[in-house]
Chain A
Amino acid sequence: MIPEQEPTVKRSTPHDTDAPILEVSHLTVQYENHAALDDVSFDLVGGERIAVVGPNGAGKSTLFQVIAGVMEPTAGEVRVAGQCPGGHICIAYVPQRSQVDWSFPVTVADVVMMGRIGQVGLWRRPGRRDRERVHQCLGVVGMDAYADRQIGELSGGQQQRMFIARALAQEAELVLMDEPLNGLDVAAQEDIFHILSELRQRQVTVMVATHDLNMASERFDRVLLLSGRLLGVGRPDVVFVPELLQEAYGGHLRMVETEGGLMVLSDTCCHGGV
């Protein structure tokens, strides 16, 4: 548990507390000959948990990159807590595990400390308070015992939890996670969801890209169905209707009526998955 304390985030732009944590309006990203994102608009409120779903090439990663500030949109804008994202360090990005160099010579504590360097600032070294904070954050995700492990020695679930701890250390208010549950067993997935509930209590907004429609509908407040265009955003039972799913996935989806509602069988394949 992190004791409640004054946030130490230095914000170059003050937060407008009434504004949604994230406003995306008319966002368009145009590549050479196709639009990866086409006029996408939606808002996120503090503390909610939203799943971004859609087929491969639907623009999920592009959307995340624009929100994180890694990529400039062709048109439209992203506002974080009422301000442009450029001045904020309150967005954390949890990378896909396949994008990380796990043989890099850093320990778990080193990686979590990286989240602190925005607060530490240029020319200065992390102090005792930063180290304490790192251990608290590792405690929240149950990774305190692994602080001195080289990151390549972790299991898949532990690797994800380490990056969530880094987001906590960063004092992020919006956490973007790209396919965090890919390749994790059920127990490890449950651990992650347990930690996501913990984040919700801290009013941290979590945005997860996933291929798993059933999980999206069971475990998230809202879902966002993307296929270049925004096909729908809202409660899962409102968005996951046959017409919209058909439009997003075409023939790659089988829908089965069951007692519990609509069951979706997807045969779209995921990055590096089976």
Chain B
Amino acid sequence: MEGLLDLILAPLHYPFMVRGMLAAMMVGVVCATLGTYVVLRGMAFLGDALAHAILPGVAVGYLVSDGARSAVFWWGLGTAVLTAFGIGAVSKRARIKEDTAIGTIFAGMFALGIALISSAGSYAVDLAHFLFGDVLGVSPGDLWLTAALGGGVLLTILAFYKEFLVLSFDPVLAATLRLPSTFFHYLLLVLIALTIVVSLQAVGVALMVAMLVTPAATAYLLARRLPTMMALAALIGALSGVAGLYLSYYVGIASGAAIVLVCTGFFLCVLLLSPQQGVVWQWARRLKR
């Protein structure tokens, strides 16, 4: 028993581990809660694209400020919001499908980001931090920023809960009720952009989509109502953050990757074992027959 307690407490002697865990938990909760709408509205690809597309903004912020966190943050946020509106405009005006517009813009922006970062001296290390995150490098100031903005995202989701629900389930009802659908659509995109930038340091752009989609998808398999799905997703997101950092500490693997692997593990377990849709139970039922 004491051995187990030691295993749990040992990493917590390092302040950077504690900060990392707090950051990973907050990011897990915010990403997963917003992620329920990403999953229900089929926006996973858009989320992935937005995450990748902030790279040039992040790079400019990094280069102009010599690596100051707040500059990276605001440049990233601006780029994410611009990209979200850009994708909307291109797919509406030009006669191409939305996923084509997303693919085109996201690859172009991502390339621009790599090009910008490659012009700096410490290319490989910097790029790796942006791509895969650096949750153990979180400063106390970063924690406060994450808490404030993450809290803002959660409050907005709560305040417009019923509007987002109607818009996701039945856009025609939203129109007949004269809800400002376009406004809420772009509000959701801005929330996703904010969440991505807040989570940048924890998981990096390359694995961001996993934090948005995997816990929510896991909860989707278990829940029958949206509030339950949100709560479950948030719980899974937070647990994955903490468990991922322990995994990273004891096995010695990259923290962002460890968090995402724990998320994926949850998803696979539920996919196989969930009482209603579990693959294993379906096999068992078939064998019985």
Contact = CB atoms under 8 A, between A and B. Distances in A.
Interface of A: 65, 68-70, 86-89, 91-93, 95, 100-101, 104-107, 110-111, 114-115, 117-118, 120, 122-123, 125-126, 150, 166, 170
B175, B176, B178, B228 — which one has the most chain A CB atoms within 10 A of its CB? B176
A195 B115 CA distance: 65
Contact of A114 (B162, B225, B228): B162
Contact of B162 (A88, A91, A105, A117): A117
B108 to A, nearest CB: 29
Interface string B270-281: 000000000000
A23 B224 CA distance: 42
Interface residues of B, number: 23
A101 B178 CA distance: 22
Interface string B130-169: 0000000000000000000000000000010011011011
12 contacts: A69-B176, A88-B178, A92-B176, A100-B170, A101-B169, A105-B224, A107-B224, A114-B165, A114-B166, A126-B162, A166-B173, A170-B177
B166, B170, B226 — which one has the most chain A CB atoms within 10 A of its CB? B170
Contact of A86 (B162, B166, B168, B178): B178
A92 B172 CA distance: 9
A246 to B, nearest CB: 34
A117 B228 contact: no
A89 B176 contact: yes
Contacts of A88: 178
Given A105-B224, A120-B162, A114 B169 contact: yes
Interface in B168-226: 168-170, 172-173, 175-179, 220, 223-226
Contacts of A126: 162
B169 A69 contact: no
B238 interface: no
Contacts of B163: 117, 122
Rank and list the top 4 A-B pairs by shortest CB-CB distance, nearest first: A118-B177, A70-B175, A150-B224, A117-B162
A68 B172 contact: yes
A101 B170 CA distance: 9
B109 interface: no
B234 to A, nearest CB: 15
B225 A68 contact: no
B50 to A, nearest CB: 23
A89 to B, nearest CB: 5
B133 to A, nearest CB: 30
Contacts of A86: 178
A112 to B, nearest CB: 11
Contacts of A125: 162
Given A68-B172, A104-B169, A89 B177 contact: yes
Contacts of A89: 176-178
Contacts of A122: 163
Given A86-B178, A114-B165, A170-B177, A93 B172 contact: yes
Interface in B211-254: 220, 223-226, 228-229
B82 interface: no
A107 B177 contact: no
A122 B168 CA distance: 17
Contacts of B105: none
B176 to A, nearest CB: 5
B40 interface: yes
B175 A105 contact: no
B226 A106 contact: yes
Contact of A105 (B173, B177, B226): B226
Nearest to A150: B224
Given A106-B225, A150-B224, 8 more contacts: A69-B176, A70-B176, A93-B173, A100-B170, A101-B169, A105-B225, A106-B226, A110-B225
Nearest to B171: A70
A68 B169 contact: no
B230 to A, nearest CB: 10
A92 B170 CA distance: 12
Given A104-B40, A122-B163, A95 B176 contact: no
Contacts of B165: 106, 110, 114
Contacts of B169: 101, 104, 106, 111, 114
Contacts of B40: 104-105
Nearest to A88: B178
B225 A107 contact: yes
Contacts of B220: 105
A105 B228 contact: yes
Given A68-B175, A120-B162, A114 B224 contact: no
A250 B172 CA distance: 33
